[in-house]
Amino acid sequence: MPDASPEDATASVLVEVLDGVATITLNRPDALNAMDEDLTARLMAALERVRDDEAIRCAVITGAGRAFCAGADLRRRAANQSEGRGPTPFPVTPPPLYHSSDAQKPMIAAVNGHCLGAGLELALTCDFRLASTLATFGMPEITLGFFPGGGAPLRLPRAIPLGAAMEILLTGDRIDAQTAREYGLVNRVLQPEELLPEAQRIATRIASHAPLAVRGLREVVMQGLEMPLPQALRWGGAMRWAIGQTEDAKEGPRAFAEKRPPEFTGR
């Protein structure tokens, strides 16, 4: 059964776990799920839980209401300034939630609506993205006198063609879901009512696989992208050998031969 309880329903981040899949919902719909200090802290705690809880094998991140996440809460920032408290300082380095490899488990962004600024940076940390037909994407920071600090200038050009990334970053303009699909920013575009069920279906499929093999595969892909190809191939071969020594690597072929579903234990 899902582990979210009724008293949690008003929290700015909700977490439900079912069949090895954590569904993380950003839950400030009246503010378009903009990131204030509370939401950011709760989101980071949720991602740490995904990382540390062995019962969780995959995660889906989505938003409540009309937005996935509209970015940083600029109204809260402006209010802090008007009250003499000063703006929340920009970090010199992106906070941990922007390092997807730290999660150590696959994450899927189910982008249900507006996905802007820090919201798009969050989506870019995920392994891949699905979008609703209502989704929009953009990096408006340049129109406000600064530029993105959560990794978008580096991740977006790695996710889509350079020219498309530069247009999004330099103009601050939004693109719709179909354009995002054409750029390769999202894997597919779905009707709103189909989005979360499809993301959860895929996540459940991933969660059914041997967790050490999934983790090893992600490490090979993510770290291999930063290596020269010969070094990456050696790294991948070493990881493949190590995973081949696990109990799950023996269970898979055995279950296939016995014509039954495998029972992977993460060992």
**Phi and psi torsions of 115, nearest 5°:** -135, 90
Q: How far apart are CA 154 and CA 143, in angstroms?
A: 19
Token pair of 225 as six digits? 């992208």
What is the amino acid identity at position 156? L
Which residue out of 121, 193, 194, 251 is catalytically annotated?
121
* Chain centroid to CA 21: 13
Q: Which listed residue (16, 48, 141, 251) is catalytic?
A: 141
Distance CA 218, CA 128 (A): 12
Active site residue 121: yes
Give yes or no for a contact between 234 and 149, defined as CB atoms under 8 angstroms apart.
Answer: no
Interhelix angle for 152-159 vs 118-125, to 10°? 50
Catalytic residues: 121, 141
